Amino acid sequence: MPETLAAVGGSGGFAFPASDLPVYEQVKTRSGRFAEGFDFVVGNPPYIRADEQQTALDEYRDEIRLHHAVQAVRTNLFKKWDMFVPFVTLGLYLLRSGVNRGRFAMIPRNSASG
């Protein structure tokens, strides 16, 4: 359970209490009052293919790959990756762990339909 943002590797070297973070950052980093994780994570990730290129999209991909607050997300982004990859990785990261592990559901893209 991270006590500070530095514990999840996203603070740029600064350490401060996780409870000082905005709620959405506490959720994303599983810190503060959300440190135990969630019983359920449900999502609908974006369907943007890895070969779809636009300047703004490429910049957004670089930002996620280089600076996402959660190391597990950055680690899973290599070579060519669809935009759903960081969403699924973060969803799994946010689950409660241990004996009472949380449940995970995402609406996947039907690859067969292109």
The string of DSSP codes covering 24-54 is: HHHHHHT-GGGTT-BSEEEE------TT---
Helix (H) or strand (E) holding 41: strand 40-43
Has this prediction a pTM greater than 0.75? Answer: no
Please give the mean pLDDT across all residues of the chain: 79
Query: Are the CB atoms for 37 and 2 separated by under 8 Å?
Result: no
Per-residue confidence band for 1, with pLDDT thresholds at 50, 70 and 90: very low
Mean per-residue pLDDT, 26-37? 88
The full set of domain ranges for the chain reads 1-36, 38-113
pLDDT of residue 8: 52
Higher pLDDT, 91 or 83: 91
